[in-house]
Structure 1
């Protein structure tokens, strides 16, 4: 089925998230109680709620998106290119800009969104943050009433499972075993919070997010047994 897919109709994406506030002390008392309750199972007795707060970016209720990178294939005159762009800055504005991209350029029934672990993380996280900000969901994220085969989402981690629902494979591991250049050459997800709040280096995060987006596209090419992108084919727009 993957070989029948028109790859130019796929929007590849990755998001980077951080806690909504730099410090646990910035939360009001109600949010602190809710955070403690939300994370009680994950923390167990190993961490206090305050110590665990640096991981708050994982949850859409307590985190925020600081970058969405998207990429898509373009074919012209027998040549291919992969174009990557990023939305960053104020969360509400970047969500509006991403929404506009989907609704304006990738709103046909044949367009698909693709991310690694996207069905468990990226897609629902974006949708939840949009709702929190009062933004109408684009059709590609509004799944209400859709049958499973109508959901316009591809997940490279799910494709790699081949039906094994217990199997988790990180993006870093998949790129390694498939011979794809690692997107984690500079930082990894655990460092994004400090790069954002302490180093205040959003450009470094954007480059990291874009490398992840390219890596997802490369994985799909390998799953289709097609040649990987080389650097000359990757364009930042």
Structure 2
């Protein structure tokens, strides 16, 4: 029962990713060929690999992380706060700083990470990029040899599925049906690459990523039948 999990033990997170290069032509010839092979079933006959490259950020082999945002609850008596912070800049530094956070502050058996569709995307993407960047994978992300019930991960999409494996609900749709303020009031995930490479506006991406983290926390509160966060309870660090 999720009501039995202490909110203070959950680290909520979201990541934003972009293609590893600004455009397809910056890849070496072998990487171009490999991208074409990797995406041939998604592209079918509709797109060339070059035309499809703006979607490369969804694959850890061809994308990179530009922001990891996290949030966590704190309680002092009847006072509740939700603290949000972000890691951004050079990817290896992002991953090292995030790893340090897990190893230093969220490394106990009771600590759990939570995201939306994070088991399918965020968690494995981070782990793969850590290997590529030669950053040691922290215990909370290292699933080798762990039994399913030993994996310290929660996923609000999985919780909403209630065992229906064919069902997918976007974060935007789920916040709508649960009457939670939408985090998607500026850019969408498909626009992050353009904002990063063309507009060079990392602050806009950080705001977008942090809104998603807050939305995931709000979904958790709804699932627990608890009051939603109000603006005064959210602290950006």
> What TM bracket, shorter-length normalisation?
over 0.9
In structure 2, the partner of 1:218 is 218
- Deviations along 1:86-131, one digit per CA (max 9) or x if unpaired, are 0000000010000000000000011000000000000000000000
Cα distance in 1 for residues equivalent to 2:184 and 2:156: 17
The whole-number CA distance in structure 2 between the counterparts of 1:155 and 1:42 is 25
> CA–CA distance in 1 between the matches of 2:28 and 2:145?
37
Deviation at 1:77, TM superposition (A): 2.3
Aligned equivalents of 1:142, 1:7: Cα separation in 2: 22
Query: Partner of 1:75: helix, strand, or coil?
Result: strand
- The DSSP-based 3-state class of the residue aligned with 1:109 is coil
Could you tell me how far apart the structure 2 residues matched to 1:30 and 1:204 are? Answer: 33
2: CA distance between counterparts of 1:48 and 1:144? 36
Hey, what's the Cα distance between the residues in 2 that align with 1:226 and 1:31? Answer: 49
Unaligned runs of 5+ in 2: none
Gaps of 5+ in 1: none
1:43-73 per-residue CA deviation (whole Å, 9 max, x = no partner) reads 0000000000000000000000000000000
For 2:228 and 2:77, locate their aligned partners in 1 and report how far apart those are by CA, in whole Å: 19
Q: How does 1:25-174 map to 2 (within 5 A)?
A: 25-174=25-174
Q: Deviations over 1:119-147 (max 9, x none)?
A: 00000000000000111100000001100
Please list every run of at least 4 consecutive aligned residues from structure 1 whose deviation after the TM superposition is greater than 2 angstroms: none
Task: Tell me the distance in 1 between the aligned counterparts of 2:107 and 2:2.
Answer: 21
SS of the aligned residue for 2:199 comes to coil
TM-score, length basis structure 2: 1.00
Q: Distance in 2 between matches of 1:2 and 1:104?
A: 25
Cα RMSD for the two superposed structures? 0.4
Q: How many residues align?
A: 237
CA distance in 1 between counterparts of 2:134 and 2:90 reads 15
Verify: 1:204 aligned to 2:210, yes or no. Answer: no
Q: Could you tell me which residue of structure 2 aligns to residue 6 of structure 1?
A: 6
Distance 2:6 2:147 in 1: 21
TM-score after normalising by structure 1: 1.00
- SS class of match (1:198): helix
User: Cα distance, 1:78 vs. partner?
Assistant: 1.5
CA drift at 1:30: 0.3
